[in-house]
Amino acid sequence: MKDITRRKFCAAALAGGVAAGAGKAFGAALPATFSEAAQPQQEATRQPGPTTGKRPTIISAHNGLRHLDAGMAVLRSTGDTMDAVLAVVTPVEDDPNDNSVGYGGLPNEDGVVQLDACVMHGPTRRCGAVGAIERIKNPAKVARVIMERTNHTFIVGRGATQFAIDQGFEPMNLLTDKSRLAWLAWKASSSKDWRPGLDAPDFNKQLAELLDTPERQAWAPWIKQVVAHPPTGTINCLAVNDKGEMSGVTTTSGLAWKISGRVGDSCIIGAGLFLDQDVGGAGSTGRGEEDIKIAGGHTVVEMMRKGMSPSDACLEALHRVVHNYDFDKSRLKMFDLQFYALNKDGAYGAASLWSSSGNGQPLTYAVHDGTEAKSVPFTPLFQGTGGDY
Ligand code: GLY
């Protein structure tokens, strides 16, 4: 990176505390430049995670909050960290009302739900991943089977579905009535061929016609939202037991209305998830393409290996995304991305590119540090709301 580029980037983007963390990552060569340049432009409200942790601890994306108690119960009984993270994400995959993961996840442009997931197991230093799998609602469990029963690490597409069926997974239709109707509304919004013909008497009423019961009518605001702003959703979960053993998982239905066969970061070891038993683990939610370009999960773990706190390590990964756009906020504003990190001592942290969701509420993630499951705000890099490009 040229010196001038780095100065411009830091001046505009970084908070003082953030810059202090980033200084460690970019080396001691330019610490003065970082702090001097960053002072006038602070944006992020610094909310560092704890520097010393507790064990056992589990962290996840916000949609795992209700299930952290189940994960903690596993850690307390058998201590198996892989069972614990799956105890958190499996009910989210099973939930028809979570439209970003598993059953009920929003489909691709062909109306087919394609799921991505991966797992990493610290003690045995193994991993498994599955991409664009269809008709199987628990891709995280399939990723575990790939890890435990095959000599491969990553199976995709038709082969992945057939593999899962051969291993005893039950195939099913992953579209719910709600996700099917949302897809039809998206088709109608994107192609005139999927709207009533010009000769139809009720030409302008296609959405109203689809939503023909009170229950379906209640879905209309949500359908309009996901048609206009295709979500990426996802759940990442990381766990450490009382001995310091770790596991991680990330699972998703990916970007709504994607091109068939598109896989995001959630099944990419090193992007949507990375874990090194010597250091800790990290995962991601949000726009997978940006995460893949910086190998985000791996970046976060390597920053922790160099001594960064989990929060600072997550911010460092976000700095790299910002750098990829040369700090062009008009484009950065069009997406969001979050990183989660847990080290082997139980210290945790998470950072988001933007601070708040569409309704202006602070973005949060979920933590259980042995006492209770709670929501914790991300450390944001920028104040404001990112889009769903
Ligand atoms: N992070 C989920 C995806 O981009 O597919």
pLDDT exceeds 80 at position 284: yes
The predicted-structure confidence for 270-279, as pLDDT tens digits, reads as follows: 999 999 999 9
Average pLDDT across the chain, whole number? 85
Higher pLDDT, 138 or 185: 138
Q: For this structure, is 234 an active site residue? A: yes
Do the domain assignments include residue 26?
no
The share of the chain scoring above pLDDT 90, in percent, equals: 70
How far away, in angstroms, is 287 Cα from ligand 1 center? 5
Pocket lined around ligand 1, Cβ cut-off 6 Å: 232, 234, 252, 254-255, 264-266, 285-288
User: What residues contact residue 270 under an 8 Å CB cut-off, 6+ apart?
Assistant: 295, 297, 298
CA distances 173 to 138, 170, 186, 188, 240, Å, are 13, 10, 19, 22, 34
Q: Which of 335, 389, 246, 316 is nearest to 19 (CA)?
A: 316
Q: Tell me: pLDDT of 378 over 60.
A: yes
Our mutation pick for probing the ligand 1 site, out of 236, 267, 291, counting the most ligand atoms within 8 A of Cβ, is: 291
Q: Would residue 358 count as lying in a domain?
A: yes
Pocket mutation for ligand 1, best pick of 287, 293, 389 (most atoms within 8 Å of C-beta):
287
How much distance in Å is there from the Cα of 200 to the middle of ligand 1? Answer: 39
User: How many distinct structural domains can be found in the chain?
Assistant: 1
**The pLDDT value given to residue 225:** 79
Give SS3 for 211.
coil
Structural domain includes residue 129: yes
What are the pLDDT digits (tens) for 315-363?
999 999 999 999 999 999 999 999 999 999 999 999 999 999 877 889 9
Q: Please check the confidence at residue 179 and state whether its pLDDT lies above 60.
A: yes
Domain CATH number, residue 94: 3.60.20.30
Task: Please report whether residue 85 resides in a domain.
Answer: yes
Task: Name the pLDDT band for 205 (thresholds 50, 70, 90).
Answer: low
Domain enclosing residue 109, as ranges: 59-175+228-385
pLDDT of residue 354: 95
Q: Which of 98, 155, 163 is nearest to 135 (CA)?
A: 163
Quick one: pLDDT at residue 10?
A: 35
**Is 378 contained in some domain?**
yes
DSSP 8-state symbol, 138: -
The predicted model gives 183-209 an average pLDDT of 73
- Exactly one of 81, 234, 251, 252 is catalytic; which is it? 234
Q: Identify the residue whose C-alpha is closest to ligand 1 atom 4.
A: 288
Residue 16 lies in a domain: no
Which atom of ligand 1 is least distant from the CA of 255? 5
Q: How far is CA 179 from CA 99, 157, 212, 358, in A?
A: 7, 21, 15, 21
Residue 361 domain-assigned (yes or no): yes
pLDDT band for position 3 (50/70/90)? very low
pLDDT of residue 232: 73
In a domain, 81, yes or no: yes
pLDDT digits (tens, 9 = 90+) for 13-44: 333 333 333 333 333 332 222 233 333 233 54
